[in-house]
C-alpha cells in the first residue's frame, strides 16, 4: 500500500467529525517544538514544521509564494496577503475523498476536480504556505454553544504585534479591536463577556463560492465559544502518523465561563462526550511565543523568508 493510500485510510475516519463541523512515541529530531510545562507529571509539545522542509520548498517554488511578499510590508500585512491568496484558490466544497494534510496534494486534487475543500483544507494550505515563507502557525478548532467542532482556523505568530493572531482563510477574515488584531482567546473572551458585537470583522468582499461572514450575526465570532489548540503542525514530517486525533492531540481551553461539552445542556445533535484528554485555563501557556523552537517568523519590516 502506498504512503498516500495509508494516509487516506487513516484520514477517512476523521471526515465525519470534521464535516460536522496518533499518538507518537517520540518527536523526530528534525521537528522543532515548543515545550509548554503544565505540572511535574505532564508537558505539551507544540510541534511545528521546519521551514526548509522539501515539500515546503517545492510549494513555495511551484506556487511562486515569494511573489506575494512585499518587502516593504509589515509581517502582519504579509500574512494577510498570503491568507487572501489561499482563500482565492478554490470555491468552498466538500473534501470527498479527504486529501492528505499536504498543501501540494490538496491543491492538485482540488484543481483536478478529484475532491473539494472546506475550512480544514484552507487552514492546511494556509499554514504550510506561511511555513514556506518563514512564519510559524498552528491549527485551532472552534465551536459554538451547540456545536463544539464547527470550524477549523489558524493562529499565526506575528512578530510586529508580538502575539498570536487568529486568521480564517475560509472566510478570509480576522478580528480587531481598536486596530489590534486578536487571537482566538481574545475573540472567545469578547464573546463570553457579551462584547463580540464591538469587534471589527476585517475581510475582503466575499468571493463567489464562499460563505459570507455577514450571515452570522457576530461575523463568525459566535463560533469561538469552544476553543481547542492542535498541538501538531508538522504533518509533512510525520506522514505515517494519524493526521487528526482530537482526543490525544488537542488542548481544550476551559475557563470558568465554559461548560465542558460533556456536561453541556445545550440542545444539539452532536454527542455529549469528552473531546480531549488535555485542558487548560492558563493564558500564559496558550499565549507563549514559539521562539523556543526558533520559529518566530521574520522580524518587523523584514521580508518573509529572508534573513
Per residue in 97-118, pLDDT (tens digit) is 999 999 999 999 999 999 999 9
In a domain, 300, yes or no: no
Residue 214 has pLDDT above 80, yes or no: yes
**More confident: 1 or 220:** 220
Residue 139 has pLDDT above 90, yes or no: yes
Q: In the beta sheet, which residues pair with residue 164? A: 157
The number of folded domains in the chain is: 1
Q: What pLDDT was estimated at residue 45? A: 82
In a domain, 65, yes or no: yes
pLDDT tens by residue, 183-201: 999 999 999 999 999 999 9
**Structural domain span for residue 161:** 3-22+32-174+227-293
**More confident: 303 or 44:** 44
Q: What pLDDT was estimated at residue 40? A: 39
Mean pLDDT, residues 132-153? 98
Cell numbers standing for residue 156: 499565526
Q: What pLDDT was estimated at residue 43? A: 65
In a domain, 62, yes or no: yes
Q: What is the CATH classification number for the domain harbouring 130?
A: 3.10.620
Query: Do 130 and 208 meet the contact criterion of CB atoms below 8 Å apart?
Result: no
Mean pLDDT, residues 63-81? 97
Q: What pLDDT was estimated at residue 202? A: 98
pLDDT tens by residue, 277-305: 999 999 998 999 987 443 433 333 333 43
Q: What pLDDT was estimated at residue 102? A: 98
In a domain, 180, yes or no: no
Mean pLDDT, residues 88-105? 97
In a domain, 179, yes or no: no
In a domain, 115, yes or no: yes
Compute the mean pLDDT over every residue in the chain, rounded to the nearest whole number: 85
In a domain, 183, yes or no: no
CA dist., res. 274 & res. 252, Å (int): 10
In a domain, 190, yes or no: no
The end-to-end CA distance of the chain, in Å, is: 41
Q: What pLDDT was estimated at residue 44? A: 74
Residue 89 has pLDDT above 70, yes or no: yes
Q: What pLDDT was estimated at residue 11? A: 38
Amino acid at each position: 500500500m502506498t504512503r498516500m493510500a495509508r494516509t487516506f485510510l487513516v484520514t477517512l475516519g476523521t471526515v465525519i467529525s470534521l464535516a460536522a463541523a496518533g499518538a507518537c512515541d517520540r518527536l523526530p529530531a528534525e521537528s522543532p517544538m515548543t515545550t509548554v510545562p503544565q505540572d511535574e507529571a505532564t508537558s505539551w509539545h507544540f510541534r511545528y514544521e521546519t521551514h526548509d522542509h522539501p515539500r515546503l520548498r517545492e510549494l513555495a517554488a511551484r506556487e511562486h509564494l515569494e511573489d506575494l511578499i512585499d518587502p516593504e510590508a509589515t509581517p502582519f500585512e504579509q500574512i494577510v496577503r498570503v491568507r487572501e491568496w489561499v482563500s482565492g484558490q478554490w470555491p468552498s466544497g466538500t473534501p470527498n475523498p479527504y486529501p492528505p494534510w499536504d498543501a501540494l496534494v490538496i491543491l492538485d486534487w482540488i484543481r483536478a476536480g478529484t475532491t473539494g475543500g472546506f475550512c480544514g483544507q484552507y487552514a492546511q494550505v494556509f499554514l504550510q504556505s506561511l511555513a514556506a515563507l518563514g512564519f510559524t502557525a498552528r491549527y485551532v478548532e472552534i465551536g459554538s454553544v451547540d456545536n463544539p467542532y464547527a470550524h477549523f482556523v489558524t493562529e499565526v505568530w506575528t512578530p510586529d504585534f508580538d502575539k498570536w493572531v487568529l486568521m480564517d482563510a475560509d472566510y478570509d477574515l480576522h478580528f480587531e479591536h481598536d486596530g489590534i488584531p486578536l487571537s482566538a482567546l481574545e475573540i472567545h473572551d469578547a464573546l463570553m463577556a457579551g462584547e463580540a458585537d464591538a469587534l471589527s470583522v476585517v475581510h475582503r468582499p466575499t468571493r463567489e463560492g464562499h460563505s459570507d461572514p455577514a450571515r452570522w450575526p457576530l461575523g463568525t465570532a459566535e463560533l469561538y465559544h469552544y476553543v481547542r489548540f492542535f498541538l501538531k503542525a508538522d504533518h509533512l514530517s510525520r506522514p505515517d502518523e494519524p493526521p487528526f486525533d482530537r482526543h490525544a492531540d488537542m488542548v481544550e481551553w476551559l475557563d470558568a465561563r465554559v461548560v465542558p461539552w460533556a456536561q453541556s445542556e445545550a440542545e444539539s445533535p452532536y454527542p455529549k462526550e469528552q473531546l480531549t484528554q488535555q485542558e487548560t485555563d492558563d493564558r500564559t501557556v496558550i499565549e507563549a511565543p514559539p521562539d523556543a523552537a526558533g520559529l518566530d517568523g521574520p522580524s518587523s519590516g523584514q521580508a518573509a523568508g529572508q534573513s
